């Protein structure tokens, strides 16, 4: 198997000479030890000798100032809950890592160590401050990877597997950013030149899929979910800001619907690899089955966001359906439901889809390292865990959009309120567990968003979309 990221350790030189405070010197050993024991596993959906955030970093961190500081800043952020003094120290280390990276970025070519530090810094900024999502660092990495298509033979990104590695990191990062920023991070210019997904010739010349620390084996699903998130956020913003109807507004809506139709088709067409086609990551706690379930959950999450925001997509699959005779009272119906019976039944189906997504991941134990790429899934379904939909009938979906939905028991009967409440408790339970296993501050922000969404649903007695709550309350954070 090819090694993805090997780079010789080099002396620091004088690129970023910075005096270390005594506090940094006092805590260096414990922070470095904690990084390699715990933190490096948070950066990957599996942890073994195949995890470059463990093996590659261990080989090169002492020869890179940016890695030296960023590894310790990440460890300090994770330990700050039990040692509050590390909170300030972690921010100092973060700032020093950023300063070193700014110096290294001026070089004609950024070393592999600098590119790794860039990913680690950008994705861990929210560990110190949940409002920081690493947009600038993403753009620097995207620019570097974009220029690598015609790179020189001695460039750090000249090796195919390194380009694949950093491209995958960008796809995952782009997906997280697309949900929480209006700047629409774009990889369109990169995609055409990047080999994907990561593969190598197996012992019998069959192609095998190498799991990536961030995308797992779901790069195509995450790439499309990023586009879905960008489209949906743009539409929610447009609708929130709209005061009067205009032809331009109608044209924008039509364009968005066409984009949604294309994304829907692409999501449904994804063919995930078979379990026996996936290279063993070497992590006994994270078998390939876990990565497959998470990838399918991301595909279904993308579909869920599309169906909620562009209901005509689901209407084309479902026959019209009337309420059951034991429907809710007319007063409740008038207050909390849209006027169309078809809209009622679509709500029921979307609750079923949200529960199906939970079914995909609920059997994955929290000990699985795939937990690092799961948090967004729990947040993105929360507004479909609505009460009062069990009195309605499910629409007849003539052709289920994907195979996992076709075989799911969640679409045989409407979910009861008790099932929905159990699902809510499971969401809170998992996110609360992640708070103690992953970086705490972003997870706390996600918990706040989920609970606030349910509170708004109860107060308004109508459909509430989680992204609207996030934008209104300013609860954006990097959800991974």
In the chain, the percentage of residues whose pLDDT exceeds 70 is 81
What pLDDT was estimated at residue 128? 98
Q: Which residues contact 89 (CB under 8 A, 6 or more apart)?
A: 23, 24, 27, 76
8-20: b (≥16 Cβ within 10 Å) or e: eeeeeeeebeeee
Are 442 and 127 in contact, with CB atoms under 8 Å apart?
yes
Q: Tell me the pLDDT tens digit for each residue of 206-241.
A: 457 999 999 999 999 999 999 999 999 999 999 888
Q: Tell me the pLDDT tens digit for each residue of 429-440.
A: 999 999 999 999
Comparing 42-46, 309-313, 335-339, the range with the smallest average pLDDT is: 335-339
What pLDDT was estimated at residue 189? 57
Q: Tell me the pLDDT tens digit for each residue of 110-122.
A: 899 999 999 999 9
What pLDDT was estimated at residue 186? 63
What pLDDT was estimated at residue 21? 56
User: If we measure between CA atoms, which residue out of 314, 312, 287 comes closest to residue 402?
Assistant: 314
Q: Which residues contact 262 (CB under 8 A, 6 or more apart)?
A: none
What pLDDT was estimated at residue 105? 84
Mean of pLDDT values over 373-380: 99
pLDDT band at 141 (very low <50, low <70, confident <90, very high): very high
Mean of pLDDT values over 24-42: 91
Mean of pLDDT values over 100-126: 92
Residue extents of the structural domains in the chain: 25-195, 285-323+341-479
133-169: b (≥16 Cβ within 10 Å) or e: bbbebbebbbebbbebeebeeebbbebebbbbbbbbb
Q: Which residues contact 420 (CB under 8 A, 6 or more apart)?
A: 351, 355, 385, 386, 387, 389, 390
Mean of pLDDT values over 404-427: 96
What pLDDT was estimated at residue 461? 85
What pLDDT was estimated at residue 385? 98
Give the span between the Cα atoms of 460 and 457, in whole angstroms. 5
Are 293 and 361 in contact, with CB atoms under 8 Å apart?
yes
What pLDDT was estimated at residue 392? 72
Q: Are strands 199-201 and 207-209 parallel, antiparallel or unpaired?
A: antiparallel
What pLDDT was estimated at residue 221? 98
Is the omega angle on the peptide bond into residue 214 within 30 degrees of 0, that is, cis?
no
pLDDT band at 167 (very low <50, low <70, confident <90, very high): very high
pLDDT at 193 over 90: no
Q: Tell me the pLDDT tens digit for each residue of 237-261.
A: 998 888 787 888 888 999 999 999 9
What pLDDT was estimated at residue 330? 38
Task: Please give the mean pLDDT across all residues of the chain.
Answer: 87
pLDDT at 78 over 90: yes
pLDDT at 370 over 60: yes
Residue 187 phi/psi, 5-degree rounding, is -115, 15
More confident residue, 350 or 198: 350
What pLDDT was estimated at residue 208? 78
Which DSSP string do the residues of 407-453 spell out, in sequence order?
T-GGGSSPPPHHHHHHHHHHHHHHHHHHHHHS-HHHHHHHHHHHHHH
Give the span between the Cα atoms of 152 and 138, in whole angstroms. 23
pLDDT at 326 over 80: no
pLDDT at 202 over 60: no
What pLDDT was estimated at residue 216? 97
What pLDDT was estimated at residue 403? 95
């Amino acid at each position: 198997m090819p090694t993805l990221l090997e780079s010789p350790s080099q002396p620091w030189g004088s690129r970023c000479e910075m005096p270390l405070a005594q506090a940094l010197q006092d805590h260096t050993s414990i922070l470095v030890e904690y990084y390699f024991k715990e933190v490096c596993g948070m950066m990957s959906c599996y942890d073994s000798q195949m995890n470059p955030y463990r093996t590659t970093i261990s080989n090169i961190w002492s020869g890179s100032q940016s890695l030296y500081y960023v590894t310790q800043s990440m460890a300090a952020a994770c330990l700050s809950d039990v040692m509050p003094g590390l909170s300030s120290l972690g921010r100092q280390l973060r700032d020093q890592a950023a300063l070193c990276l700014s110096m290294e970025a001026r070089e004609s070519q950024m070393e592999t160590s600098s590119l790794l530090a860039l990913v680690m810094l950008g994705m861990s900024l929210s560990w110190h401050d949940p409002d920081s999502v690493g947009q600038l660092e993403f753009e620097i990495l995207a620019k570097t990877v974009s220029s690598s298509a015609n790179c020189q033979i001695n460039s750090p990104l000249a090796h195919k597997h390194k380009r694949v590695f950093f491209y995958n990191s960008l796809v995952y990062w782009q997906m997280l950013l697309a949900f929480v920023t209006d700047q629409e991070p774009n990889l369109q210019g990169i995609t055409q030149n990047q080999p994907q997904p990561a593969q190598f010739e197996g012992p019998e010349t069959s192609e095998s899929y190498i799991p990536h620390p961030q995308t797992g084996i779901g790069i195509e699903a995450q790439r499309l979910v990023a586009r879905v998130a960008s489209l949906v956020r743009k539409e929610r913003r447009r609708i929130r800001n709209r005061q009067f109807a205009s032809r331009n507004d109608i044209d924008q809506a039509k364009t968005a619907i066409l984009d949604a139709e294309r994304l829907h088709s692409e999501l449904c067409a994804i063919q995930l690899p078979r379990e026996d086609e996936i290279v063993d990551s070497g992590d006994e706690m994270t078998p390939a089955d876990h990565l497959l379930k998470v990838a399918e959950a991301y595909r279904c999450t993308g579909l869920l966001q599309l169906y909620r925001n562009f209901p005509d997509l689901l209407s084309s699959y479902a026959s019209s359906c009337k309420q059951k005779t034991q429907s809710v009272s007319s007063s409740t119906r008038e207050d909390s439901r849209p006027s169309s019976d078809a809209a009622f039944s679509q709500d029921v189906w979307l609750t079923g889809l949200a529960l199906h997504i939970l079914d995909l991941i609920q059997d994955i134990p929290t000990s699985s390292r795939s937990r690092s790429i799961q948090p967004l899934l729990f947040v993105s379904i929360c507004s479909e865990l609505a009460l009062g939909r069990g009195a309605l009938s499910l629409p007849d979906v003539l052709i289920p959009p994907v195979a996992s939905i076709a075989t799911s028991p969640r679409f045989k009967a409407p979910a009861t309120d008790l099932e929905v409440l159990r699902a809510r408790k499971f969401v809170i339970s998992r996110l609360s567990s992640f708070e103690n296993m992953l970086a705490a501050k972003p997870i706390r922000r996600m918990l706040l968003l989920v609970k606030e969404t349910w509170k708004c649903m109860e107060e308004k007695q109508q459909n509430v979309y989680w992204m609207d709550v996030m934008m209104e309350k300013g609860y954006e954070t990097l959800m991974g």
